[in-house]
Amino acid sequence: MTDLQTTYLGLKLKNPLIAGSCGLTNSVQSIKEIADKGVGAIVVKSVFEEQINVDTEKVIKNEEGNIKLLTRASDLMLGRRVHDYDEAYSYIYDFARRNALDKYLRFITEAKKTVSVPLIASINCVSNNDWHSFAKKIEETGVDALELNIYILPSDWRRNGADNENIYFDIIREIRNYVNLPISIKIGYYFSALSQSVQKLSQSGVKGIVLFNRPYNTDFDVEKMEVSHGSIYSNDLEYNHTLRWISILSGNVGCDLSAATGIHTWDAFVKQLLAGAATVQVVSALYKEGLGVIPDILNNTALWMQRHGFADVASFRGMLSKSKLDNPAAIERVQFMKLYSGIE
Ligand SMILES: Cc1cc2nc3c(=O)[nH]c(=O)nc-3n(C[C@H](O)[C@H](O)[C@H](O)COP(=O)(O)O)c2cc1C
């Protein structure tokens, strides 16, 4: 008998496979279908700060019919007061924002009532914009945890590395002060000193860090000579980057690590656990292969465990983390001379 149970963010999961936040976790019906396939937990579709701001601006435009006011929601978001009538404007802004957030709260309340598998709410934030009161309301719905998706592209010439990194800590501090819900953060890899930053973040009161979010990829259309975008879905070769960093970081951080991006198959799933991940998040595979990929990953992992004589996940988790390797340099190698020199 193999036991796939694990703990993540202090929660007991029946296995380490998590359906990550996406369009498939955006309705109660499809959350139920995913849960029925056997996942250990589900991250609900995020409420997006930027989307709320866009929606709020639309509402403001309708109510006021005044084009001059169109830019004002973003001004208020940034704390800029532009004119004397800001108070009235601020009222409309708050009202519209509250509506968008209430809709999300109703959705996760319903979802939580429908499934027994742990449910993780998600906020996609780009600033420290009064998220604590919303986080408090999320906590009151009874969901099991909250994932904060914070992805800052370091493209602003006026901000140095510390400025950007402080945003992460400010958001976490603000929310941690108001909620007891276990919190995880989902991050990208744009840090000037990734290991140190992840270690510091792991000591900031979060219970888990999801490595990594997958950036929206820029592309160009050469015929139209326009900016376009790369594939929305990952492919099954994209897991290596995450694998390296989970292996480097596991055992050296003060919280759980959850592996994400490019994990489509049972062996990619097992690799992340060998690297030291507490859980593994899957999204693109659900779209590309269908929900059947969930039992496929779990059944094949159990068979692999039987073949290798592992009774439970703890018996092999972290076996290939960098700190346990005889040749840790193999994980850090970034130049290819030895590997490539034999190829002609
Ligand atoms: C259609 C789609 C919608 C997504 N929506 C969200 C979201 O709302 N919040 C979030 O944190 N990540 C979102 N993601 C990112 C995924 O959760 C995941 O981090 C990313 O797709 C990489 O994992 P994968 O390689 O398994 O797809 C979305 C991804 C896709 C493909």
Tokens of 205: 């009161």
- CA atoms of 51 and 96, how far apart (whole Å): 12
Mean pLDDT of the chain: 87
Contact between residue 97 and residue 56 where contact means Cβ atoms under 8 Å apart: yes
**Alpha helices for 115-160 (secondary structure H):** 131-140
pLDDT at position 266 is 98
In 3D space, the residue among 95, 88, 60, 84 whose CA is nearest the CA of residue 74 turns out to be 60
What's the CA angle centered on 43, arms 42 and 48, to 5 degrees? Answer: 160
In a mutational test of the pocket of ligand 1, which residue from 211, 214, 231, 235 has the highest number of ligand atoms less than 8 Å from its CB? 214
Is the bond into 212 cis (omega within 30 degrees of 0)? yes
Closest residue CA from atom 27 of ligand 1: 284
Is the minimum distance from the CB of 128 to ligand 1 under 6 angstroms? no
Is the minimum distance from the CB of 234 to ligand 1 under 6 angstroms? yes
Is the minimum distance from the CB of 37 to ligand 1 under 6 angstroms? no
What atom of ligand 1 comes closest to residue 284's alpha carbon? 27
- CA atoms of 265 and 289, how far apart (whole Å): 10
Q: Is residue 1 part of a domain?
A: no
For 225, list phi and psi in degrees, rounded to 5.
50, 55
pLDDT digits (tens, 9 = 90+) for 198-220: 999 999 999 999 999 998 889 99
CA of 181 to the centre of ligand 1 (A): 22
- CA atoms of 150 and 129, how far apart (whole Å): 12
What atom of ligand 1 comes closest to residue 45's alpha carbon? 8
pLDDT band at 73 (very low <50, low <70, confident <90, very high): very low
CA of 91 to the centre of ligand 1 (A): 33
Q: Is residue 318 part of a domain?
A: yes
Q: Above pLDDT 90, what percent of the chain?
A: 70
Total domains in the fold of the chain: 1
Contact between residue 37 and residue 292 where contact means Cβ atoms under 8 Å apart: yes
Is the minimum distance from the CB of 141 to ligand 1 under 6 angstroms? no
Which residue range(s) make up the domain with 96? 6-341
Tokens of 211: 């490595």
Closest residue CA from atom 23 of ligand 1: 261
pLDDT digits (tens, 9 = 90+) for 281-311: 999 999 999 999 999 999 999 999 999 999 9
Is the minimum distance from the CB of 122 to ligand 1 under 6 angstroms? yes
Contact between residue 153 and residue 115 where contact means Cβ atoms under 8 Å apart: no
CA of 80 to the centre of ligand 1 (A): 32
Q: Would you call 335 helix, strand, or coil by DSSP?
A: coil
Is the minimum distance from the CB of 272 to ligand 1 under 6 angstroms? no
Q: Above pLDDT 70, what percent of the chain?
A: 82
Q: Is residue 246 part of a domain?
A: yes
What would the mean pLDDT of 230-234 be, rounded to a whole number?
A: 94
- CA atoms of 157 and 83, how far apart (whole Å): 29
Q: Is residue 193 part of a domain?
A: yes
pLDDT band at 71 (very low <50, low <70, confident <90, very high): very low
Q: Is residue 173 part of a domain?
A: yes
| Residue 89 scores a pLDDT above 60 | no
pLDDT digits (tens, 9 = 90+) for 98-144: 777 889 999 999 999 999 999 999 998 766 666 778 889 999 999 99
Long-range CB contacts (within 8 A, 24+) of 99-107 = 99/59, 100/47, 100/51, 100/52, 100/55, 100/56, 101/47, 101/52, 101/134, 101/137, 104/47, 105/137, 105/138, 105/141, 107/28, 107/44
Q: Is the dihedral of CA 134, 136, 137, 141 positive or negative?
A: positive
Contact between residue 120 and residue 145 where contact means Cβ atoms under 8 Å apart: yes
Dihedral through CA 135, CA 25, CA 168, CA 189, nearest 10?
170
Q: Is residue 180 part of a domain?
A: yes
- The answer to which of 37-41, 187-191, 308-312 has the lowest mean pLDDT is 187-191
Is the minimum distance from the CB of 258 to ligand 1 under 6 angstroms? no
pLDDT at position 69 is 40
pLDDT digits (tens, 9 = 90+) for 238-297: 999 999 999 999 999 999 999 999 999 999 999 999 999 999 999 999 999 999 999 999
CA of 20 to the centre of ligand 1 (A): 7
pLDDT at position 216 is 83
CA of 6 to the centre of ligand 1 (A): 23
pLDDT band at 323 (very low <50, low <70, confident <90, very high): very high
CATH number of the domain encompassing residue 200: 3.20.20.70
Instruction: Record the pTM.
Output: 0.88
